Amino acid sequence: MSATAVVVRDRRMWPLYAAGFTTAFGAHAVAANLGAFSDDAVKSLLTLGILLALYDGAEVLLKPVFGTIADRIGARPVLLAGLVGFAIASGLYAVADSPRWLWVARLGQGAAASAFSPAASALVARLNPAAKHGRAFGSYGFYKSIGYTLGPLLGGALVWLGGFRLLFVVMTVLAIAVAGWALFAVPAVPPLPRTRQTVIDLARRIADPVFLRPTAALAGATAALSVGVGFLPVTGAADGLGTIATGAAVSVLAATAAVIQPRAGRALDSGKLTTRTGITVGLLVTATGLACATLSGVAAVLGAALLIGAGTGLITPLGFAALAASTDPSRLGQTMGTAELGRELGDAGGPLLVAGVATATTLGYGYAVLAIILAAGPVIGLAVRTRPSRPN
């Protein structure tokens, strides 16, 4: 491949990476600061919980829908419309500067992200040959992880400087800039002819192990990531660690996940790693990290962060590459949207599971239960593959 072709491909991909950063930054920059000590912060825990659920709830309901629309009319229009919608939703609060409009803004942001997130994933697959899917999804995941990492930090700084109004102004400008960039740099990818699909056909596709296994792995990885970010600071504080140390642990987790993803993708493309082996190792490493979290001390917390980050960073690009490889190109949007739904369920279900177990017992048992669930998948898969067949 010539150097010119590589440059052209990179120019097409950068706006998609920026779109991944935008949805991650938009989700965490606001969520991490809704309960902050500012004039427009949310004071009620119930209100805080509902506001947090608005963004994710919209994504759970709408990502498969917008993914299917992307297959019908093309992913690029859905990408652009979603980014513009995100800018409009953010701008509403920036102009109104009223807590009442925060509800509308967060619901609108979640709905818009539900459009451009699966569309961006579908374009990552369509604009790259199958032999480069690992690298492409690894890079996309890297910039999305950067958004998750920087969201709370930059969002907190912006809220401290000018309240939520300044934060929403920045998100408005960011979404408009990425939309303009995508308009000029991302080529039109026409929708492909599709055969008619019934609800039963869709149910069969979702239940197919070829789809179910990587999606379940992605959901498990997201569950572990959310648990690590949310509960490792609690574990660290119980061990007597200060906020700097617990914050460093979360940063280690996010940074490790970001760094591992492109490397995992390159290993897949070069044939050094297969999706089955990589996902299996990723689940076991993540489960080991959760097991480390049941121990006490600084080393245990940092080790848990490092292993959870490494495991989830390994699973994410390989899971999406496996889905892209097994999907008819005419239904990439639907597949990516449904897979994103699985991740959102893991994002919400993981912390709920750990919190529920911890309420009845201790946080250590919560970590252990999730670790067992993640490790069970590879163990069951290995048992099924090695089980001798019955003679006729």
State the average pLDDT over residues 1-22. Answer: 70
Token pair recorded at residue 154: 């930059």
Using pLDDT thresholds of 50, 70 and 90, give the confidence band for residue 198: low
CA-closest candidate to residue 44, choices 108, 86, 102, 129: 102
Q: Does residue 45 or residue 329 have the better pLDDT?
A: 329
Element (H, E) at 126: helix 99-126
User: What pLDDT, on a 0 to 100 scale, did the predictor assign at position 30?
Assistant: 80
CA-closest candidate to residue 117, choices 152, 143, 82: 82
**CB of 319 closer than 8 Å to CB of 300:** no
| CA dist 379 → 276, 278, 284 (Å) | 13, 14, 9
Give backbone dihedrals phi and psi of 87, rounded to 5 degrees, phi first: -65, -40
Q: With b meaning 16 or more CB within 10 Å and e meaning fewer, what string describes 303-314? A: bbbbbbbbbbbb
Residue 36: pLDDT above 80?
A: no
User: What pLDDT, on a 0 to 100 scale, did the predictor assign at position 261?
Assistant: 93
State the average pLDDT over residues 32-38. Answer: 59
Express each pLDDT in 265-313 by its tens digit: 999 999 999 999 999 999 999 999 999 999 988 889 899 999 999 999 9
DSSP 243-255: HHHHHHHHHHHHH
Q: Compute the radius of gyration of the chain from its Cα atoms.
A: 21
**CB of 374 closer than 8 Å to CB of 307:** no
Lowest mean pLDDT among 31-45, 189-203, 224-238, 343-357: 31-45
What is the model's pTM?
A: 0.77
Tell me the range of 120-124, 234-238, 246-250 where mean pLDDT is highest. 120-124
Express each pLDDT in 333-387 by its tens digit: 888 888 877 887 888 788 888 988 988 988 899 999 999 999 997 766 554 454 4
